[in-house]
Structures are given as C-alpha cells and as structure tokens.
Chain A
Amino acid sequence: MNAAHVWIIYRKELRDALRDRRTLISSIVVPTLLMPLLLFGVGRLMQRAVAEAREEVPTVAVLGGEGAPALLARLSGDARVRLVPVPADWREAIAAKRLRAVLEVPARLEERLRAGEASPAVRIFHYQGELKSENGARVTERIVAEHRERVVTERLAARGLGPEAVRPFEVRRENVAPPEKVGGNLFGGLVPYFIILLCFTGAIYPAMDITAGEKERGTMETLLCSPVARLDLVLGKFLLVLTGSLASMFFVVASMAGSALLGGALFLGSSGAAAAGALPPGAAAAGMGSLPTIDPLGLAGVFAMVLPVAVLFSAVALTVSLFAKSYKEAQSYLGPLIVVVLVPGMIAALPGTELTARTALIPLLNLSLVCKEMLSGSWPWGYIALIFGSSSLYAAGALALAVRMFNREDVLFRS
C-alpha cells in the first residue's frame, strides 16, 4: 500500500464530491433537515390537531334523557359540552362528523336508581379513532362519571358515611428512573434506526458517483492508466465513501440533538403542557428538568459501535456500485438495499427481542440492540466486545471483497 497515493486519491475525490450537488444533498442536507422536519413539521401538525380537538366544545345529543332530569340538567349546565337535539339519523351524523357523540340513558334511570335497582348501563356512541369524536365521548364520560360520584356520595351520606368508605386509600404512580434512562428507553429504538438509515444513504451516493458514475463518464479508464495500484485506488475511494457515511451520521445526530433541545423547550415550555392541561403551571417552568434526555456517554458509545458498520456499509456500497455499468444500474441495486438494511432495526424494536450471544452476532440487529442498552446507561461489556469484534470482521470481509472487485477486469471493463 502506498499511503501517499491513497491520500492523493482521497483528497481529489473529496474535492470532487464537495462540488457534486447530489452527494452534498444526500450527505449533508437530508440528514440535517430530516429530524427538524419530522419533529417540527409532522410533530407540530399532530400536536396542533390534538390541541384543536381538545379545545373544541363537542356537540353531544342525549337519547332518553327524560328519565334522568338531574343528569340532563348537569349536562346542559356544563360548558365542556354543547347539548343538541337528537337528529333522526344520529348514527350517520356521528360518522359524518356532524355530531361528536350521543349519550343513551336507559328509561326511568333516576327513578330506578332511587328504587335501588341493579346498575343499568348508560351508553356513549362515538366514532372510534376520530380525534374530535373521541374527545366528545371522553368529556361526556367524565361528566357522567362525576354525576355518578355525586349519587354515590349522596347514598353514603344517607347512611351516615363519608366518601372514604368506598375509597379508603389513593393509588399513585411515580417515575424513579433518571431522565436519561427514560430517554434511552424512548429514543433507544429510534436513534440507532435513524443512524443506520443515514449511515447507509450517506454512503450510497458517493459510492455510486465514484464507481459506476466514473465508468459511465469514461474517467475510470483514465484513472486506471495512472501508476496507482488497485489497492490504493480502492482505499482512497473507500475513505471518501466512509466520509460521506460518517458525515451523514454526524449531521443527523447533531440535528437530532438540536431539535430535541429546541423542541423540548418549545413543547413543554409553552403550548404543549398548557393545552394538554396535564401539568400544573409550575411544571412547565421546570419542564427542562423533567424532559427525557439522551446520555452523552451513551451517544459516544453508539458512535463507536457504528464505526465498523459504517465501514461495512461503505465497502458494500462501493462493491455493489462498482459492479454496475451505470449510475442508473447502481441505483437499481442499492435502492432496495435501503429497505433490507432497515429490517434488523425494526426487529430490534419489537418487544421481546433481547441481546443474547446469538443476536450479538447478527449484523445491524446487534447494533440496534446494544445501542438501546448503552443509551439507557447499561454497559454489557462482554456483548459490546463481541459486537464490535464481529462487526469489524464483517467490515473487513466487505472491504476485502471491494478490493477483489477492483482487481476483476470483467467488472472494471463491463460493457
């Protein structure tokens, strides 16, 4: 190997790549914009839709309300719902979103309650999965439940008992896991998924450009006439592809961290918490502290573990695209590979997929699993060593294959 030749080739390829719009878009622009777009675009839209649904005063109609005047009075006096007369086609009206929910009260409900009859059922009709209808049903249910509680309290009082007779103690849940553990669990599946995706897409464009693209443009033969050994040629080109892959990964993580910080402040600090009404006002101010965070040490671990995978991806992308005659042909080989690469990440996200000596040897799946562990602050060193070792071995194999491919005349001069 001639390190000077490798360096000359790498520098030239880097300069060439920095002038190629397609490579720049895939390695820098897409990874940088992906997260903010997802979080602020899609996330914001979803949040707005939820808030809008919650802010709306749902229209609710009552069927058979004459048997429950007290409940009816309570409903009509409550600002959280707007009572409307029951339309004849009330089922269609709900499905057509003209009416949010219908409450059906059994005949002579209050009379039967006073007589101490066994609990007759009150039914709420709604449109399952439709945000505003679900909200209408939820609010109606809450008001009816409050009414039921009032009935219970009255019955208890008549027997000389307080509410604690039926509710002797309260149940509360509290989180004790530190924010980074919560974050690790929350983002653990997501972060490796994005990293693997971007690591691969970051590699394929430069790989296609400097192999199949060069063949297509006729510069491959020009380069092959120079006194550079094929090994140096592969290594120089490989380093460029690796740069693309790592740059992509770096930009996606940086933008993810930036978006999380900004998004957290935005969502918890203002509209989010207030609209949800889930947090008391004080919690919004202290919002940053309770946000799930990502442990920087875990993130550093993820980077280290991804390195051999980036090498593997770069070598595979280089080998596959060198085999192709043209840029288009290379795209048709590498496009479907993007989906293949994502499958292990999806499997890792399935509940019950655990890190074992066997899964630690499956490429990509092992990375996704160990990343989840590291991001939630646990460091299974034996597995980490096994995964890093096996990934490095796969990477070395792929690189050797790329070198072999560059030595095959039928591949280089395929026409």
Chain B
Amino acid sequence: MIAAHGLTKVFRDRRRGELRAVDDVSFTVAPGRIYGLLGANGAGKTTTLRLLATLLRPTAGTAEVAGRDINLDPAGVRARVGFLATSTALYGRLTARETLEYFGRLHGLAPDVLRTRIDLLAGELEMHEFLDRRCDRFSTGMKQKTSIARTLVHDPAVMIFDEPTLGLDVMAARAVVRFVRACRDRGKTVIYSTHVMSEVEKLCDVIGIIHGGRLRDEGSLADLRARHGETDLEEIFVRVVGGEPAPPPLLPPR
C-alpha cells in the first residue's frame, strides 16, 4: 500500500532560485495494483518516486509506504521497497551473485535464507549461466535481470519503477514489462513512472498525469477516456497538461 498526502519538494538553487519539483501531490495505490505516473521530462516523476523511496526528504507532506511513514521511519520504508531506475546501476567489479548477496545482507537476510532466495531468483530469471560472472562484462539483458533480482532479493511489498525501460531494446523492455505484471500478480503494490503512452495503456490499473510538479488528473484508463471524451491516451494527456506549446513557424514571417 502507498498513500501520499500533500507531498511537496522544493529545491533551492543559487542560479534558478526556488523550484517546486513536486507540489502537493496526493494519491493512493492498493496492493495488487499498478499505478502509472505519466508525465513529460521534468514533470516531477523521478522526484516523487525518490521521495517515496526515501532517497529525498519531502519539504512538506508525507506518505505511508508499506505501513511505514517516510518521514518517521525511512529505513523501515527502504527495507520494504524495491526500487528500480535507469540510474540504479550495478557494481561492475562484483559478480551477479556477490551483488545479490551484498544487498541481501544489507537487508538483514540470514545466510541460508539468502542462499535459497538467490537460487530461486536465479531460476525464475534464468540467471544461472552468468551468476558467477562479473557484471561489467554483462549484456544489457543480463544487467537488467541482475538489477531486477537485486530489487527482489528481500521480497519487498512495494515496488517502485522509475522509467525502467528507458534505453532498452524491444526485447529487454518487454521482459521488464512482463516482470512488472508478475509483481502485481503476486499482490505487490506497484508504482511505475514513464512517458511512454503504450506502456501505461498496457500495464497500469490507475493512471496519474503529472505536470509541473502537480498531479493534474487521475483515474483508470476507462475513467480518463469517459471524462475527456477521447480514446487516444496521448490526446487526453495533451489536454490535461493544458495543450501543446504553439509550434514554431516553418518559415519566418515576412
């Protein structure tokens, strides 16, 4: 379960001044559901997810993640969350097994439990072949599998995905989407950020459209379609964020 209440994050920058990256955002995600956070680059998706994963502290508001408050018990939240982003890379000089052992130990798993867990994950993700090879020699697909196994090693109740398919080829991206769906099927609470409309349509039970740090609209795909009288999600998105900026003239005016 995730319940965000008025989450706000203000960055102070000497050059740009105050920047409200996330502004009074509230939403709820139930277990066994996928919440899609849809927004353009710089809309506030990553900051929202980093707040939920307690990598950043909110300026105002709070959230409850897997029964823990992000302000009061950040370590407790991290112990119950699996976080996967394009920015969460692997240690190149460790093998896949050493990586999983490292994060498993940090999560306090006992050695025998950890061994069984790694065995199980390696089987499910078909990793046995490269489990004892160093990560810096992996293909993108192998890296992706290892990263997924890393987020699952402690069997978290909540999964946070920040644009996990960014930069992946079609096959690797499909594998990730399949994996996200599997998480939902196991009853995990899933939040998924992206700017790819088709992924949202295929995956998400509830869609939140974020723009300029604010949550502009929210609902299931059917809800959004009914509310805006439009079937194409891209059109709905553009309408919600207040239309496209006027295109530049093709020819300079005379």
Q: Which residue numbers of A lie inside 8 Å of B, CB to CB?
A: 5, 8-9, 12, 15-16, 19-20, 217-219, 221-222, 224-229, 409-410, 413
- A16: contacting residue among B11, B83, B88, B93, CB under 8 A: B93
The CA-CA distance from A109 to B15 in the complex, in Å, is 87
The CA-CA distance from A347 to B137 in the complex, in Å, is 49
Nearest CB on A from B87, distance (A): 5
Please tell me if the beta carbons of B89 and A219 are within 8 angstroms of each other in the complex: yes
Q: Which residue of A lies closest to B56 (CB)?
A: A409
- A222: contacting residue among B11, B76, B90, B105, CB under 8 A: B90
Contact with A along B43-64 (1 / 0, CB 8 A): 0000000100101110000000
Q: Which residue of B lies closest to A216 (CB)?
A: B89
Nearest CB on B from A236, distance (A): 10
Q: Which residue of B lies closest to A19 (CB)?
A: B93
The CA-CA distance from A217 to B143 in the complex, in Å, is 13
Please tell me if the beta carbons of B90 and A219 are within 8 angstroms of each other in the complex: yes
Q: Quick one: given A217-B89, A222-B89, A222-B150, are A227 and B78 in contact (CB under 8 Å)?
A: yes
Interface positions, chain B 60-108, Cβ under 8 Å from A, are 75-76, 78-79, 81, 83, 85, 87-94, 98, 102-103, 105-108
Nearest CB on B from A304, distance (A): 34
Top-8 shortest CB links A-B:
A218-B89, A227-B79, A225-B83, A222-B88, A227-B78, A19-B93, A226-B106, A227-B75
Q: Which residue of B lies closest to A224 (CB)?
A: B55
Q: What count of chain B residues pass the 8 Å CB interface test?
A: 29
Q: Per DSSP, are chain A's interface residues mostly helix, strand or loop, or mixed?
A: helix
Interface positions, chain B 4-18, Cβ under 8 Å from A, are 11
Please tell me if the beta carbons of A221 and B92 are within 8 angstroms of each other in the complex: no
The CA-CA distance from A19 to B87 in the complex, in Å, is 23
Please indicate the chain B residues that have their CB under 8 angstroms from the CB of A229 in the complex. Answer: 75
The CA-CA distance from A312 to B106 in the complex, in Å, is 27
Q: Quick one: given A219-B89, A219-B90, are A12 and B102 in contact (CB under 8 Å)?
A: yes
Please tell me if the beta carbons of B78 and A15 are within 8 angstroms of each other in the complex: no
Please tell me if the beta carbons of B93 and A409 are within 8 angstroms of each other in the complex: no
The CA-CA distance from A322 to B91 in the complex, in Å, is 17
Q: Which residue of B lies closest to A16 (CB)?
A: B93
- B94: contacting residue among A15, A227, A410, A413, CB under 8 A: A15
Please tell me if the beta carbons of B56 and A413 are within 8 angstroms of each other in the complex: yes
The CA-CA distance from A320 to B105 in the complex, in Å, is 29
Please indicate the chain A residues that have their CB under 8 angstroms from the CB of B81 in the complex. Answer: 225
The CA-CA distance from A16 to B106 in the complex, in Å, is 16
**16 A-B residue contacts at CB 8 Å?**
A8-B105, A12-B91, A12-B94, A12-B98, A217-B92, A221-B87, A221-B88, A225-B55, A225-B78, A225-B83, A227-B76, A227-B78, A227-B106, A227-B108, A409-B55, A413-B55
